[in-house]
Amino acid sequence: MAADADEARVRALLRAHPDGREIAAAPFRAIAGGALNRCWRVDTDVGPRFVRLASEAARGLGADWESEAALLAVANRAGLAPAPMLTVPAAGLLVSEFVPGRVLTRDEARRPALLTAIGRLLRKLHDLAPSPGIRRLDFATQARTLEAQLDAATYAGFATQATAVFARLEAGQGAAVPCHNDVHAENIIEHDRRLLLVDWEYGGVGDAVYDLAGCVVHLALDAAQRDLLLDAYDAEVPRVRMRDACWGYDYVQWLWYRVAANRSGERGEGALTEAAVTAQRLERSRGCA
């Protein structure tokens, strides 16, 4: 019933928009989305479209759909993302082109050729000029926002290390650049011999090292694979800074899982499981070393 209600809501939002009426009348086919979002393939007379309805809970977890629309447009012009076609940021509604590509698996993304391609993709993204409408995103601030939604005792064991890690990262930061901030295999599509990034709702202008660290963490890269990624990225990234960034990224990810579990009630078991795995990495304090 919830799925039917979501689809009905999306159709209503589309009917209310002059450019959405044809999409609203077309067949919807549900596809896998993120933990908090509902997604569909919609086959219109002029081609397939991707439709996403984001959960309001995602906003409290760091999603920003106004910024996403601006960032997605910039990334698409550079050939790094699908073309946005219709957005209603206040409702979390996004319509973009449906890319008939292949979503990578983690094992595939760890292969040398694809790691090289991912490194080059991130280099191209970080070389883009920021544009108005894209938010400034700071991981230390994001950590504090998530901490404020938890009991202090929950994160007390990591608080001192988090303060030191974020301070070191801030001290070494260069110019802020457009970032995706959620680079994992399921957000990478291989299409027409090139890679595209999808799911930009956590993106913003910030420290490029977190995109690289997130990729290392999500793909569970070993030292050799990490170095291959950084070599393809073609910019000097101090290894100490990478270790800190992996820890800082994981800390924000761990907070996200804990807050998501609280918001999901009985459905939060999966988030708690992921939080436990992430906490083990944080406690080892090794990051991507």
Q: What is the pLDDT of residue 4?
A: 85
Of 97, 112, 136, which residue sits at a domain end? 97
Following CA atoms 170, 60, 40, 217 in sequence, which dihedral angle do they give, to the nearest 10 degrees? 30
Give all strands (DSSP E) within the chain, no chain letters. Answer: 28-31, 38-44, 47-53, 84-88, 93-97, 102-103, 177-179, 188-191, 194-197, 204-206
Output DSSP code: residue 64.
-
How many domains does the chain divide into?
A: 2
Of 48, 64, 97, which residue sits at a domain end? 97
Task: Pull the structure tokens for residue 36.
Answer: 């908090």
77 belongs to a structural domain: yes
- Mark whether 82 and 118 lie in a shared domain: no
Q: What residue type is 25 in one-letter code?
A: A
- Mark whether 54 and 112 lie in a shared domain: no
Residue that the structure tokens 């760890």 belong to: 110
82 belongs to a structural domain: yes
Q: What is the pLDDT of residue 158?
A: 96
Q: What is the pLDDT of residue 60?
A: 87
Average pLDDT per block of 10 residues along the chain, 289 residues long: 80 94 95 83 94 90 94 96 94 94 95 97 96 95 96 95 96 95 96 93 97 97 96 90 96 96 72 94 71
Q: What is the pLDDT of residue 249?
A: 98
29 beta partners = 41
- Mark whether 84 and 129 lie in a shared domain: no
Q: What is the pLDDT of residue 237?
A: 87
pTM score of the predicted model = 0.92
159 belongs to a structural domain: yes
- Mark whether 142 and 262 lie in a shared domain: yes
Collapse the DSSP code of 51 into the 3-class scheme (helix H, G, I; strand E, B; otherwise coil) and give the result. strand
Q: What span, in angstroms and rounded, lies between the C-alpha atoms of 62 and 71?
A: 15
210 belongs to a structural domain: yes
Domain with 21, as residue range(s), is 2-97
289 belongs to a structural domain: no
- Mark whether 88 and 129 lie in a shared domain: no
Q: What is the pLDDT of residue 62?
A: 92
- Mark whether 193 and 135 lie in a shared domain: yes
Q: What span, in angstroms and rounded, lies between the C-alpha atoms of 66 and 90?
A: 8
